[in-house]
Structure 1
Amino acid sequence: MLFFTPIYNILDQKIFVEIFGCGCVPSAQTNMFNIDFNANDLRLIVYNIFAFAFTVFGLFLSKKIENKKVKVIYVLTIFVFNILLAFKICQLYMWA
């Protein structure tokens, strides 16, 4: 997720803000589609999808772990870490 963030920031600045608007001032918000959806909302969706995908990948990798308790702790740790990471990234890079 950390490797994707610089690429996403460039795409966000060059493309997504132009299409969806930045969400800076909601009352003055206009975007290409004239909808109540902005680049901040897209970022939240994308990073939550990444967190879910990495959790599924961790679940796939945990098949080799024999102890069920360790497997559950492993997958939950991956899930919590990725959700917290996505939350922090979204906080840092939201258009204010």
Structure 2
Amino acid sequence: MRFLKMRGLKLYYLSNYSEHLYKKTRQHMGFLEEFDGGLFSYEVLSIKPEEKIYRLLLDKYSIVPEKAIFFDDRQVNTEAASRLGIKGVVFEPDMAYHILDI
């Protein structure tokens, strides 16, 4: 992630997370500071792959869908992003080494 940020890219998270779980685990989420922003599903009462959560993220941060790439470990979520004009990519563990080819 740091490498991507050093290249001038903006990074946002979109996570299906309950408020209860967030409160229990937030002390272990220092990595969120690496992001420019994001949304947890409990904050907006919508979850992936519902269209609403993607639109809220796009609107909140003025993200142009055609200039965005959405990584997720579930194909159903990347397909939902693709329907909104976002390039959706299913992320696999060994993909980190090839991410700049996208």
The verdict on a shared fold, with TM-score over 0.5 as the criterion, is no
Give the structure with the larger strand fraction: 2
TM-score computed with the length of structure 2 as normaliser: 0.22
TM-score with structure 1 length normalisation? 0.23
Q: State the structure with more CA Rg.
A: 1
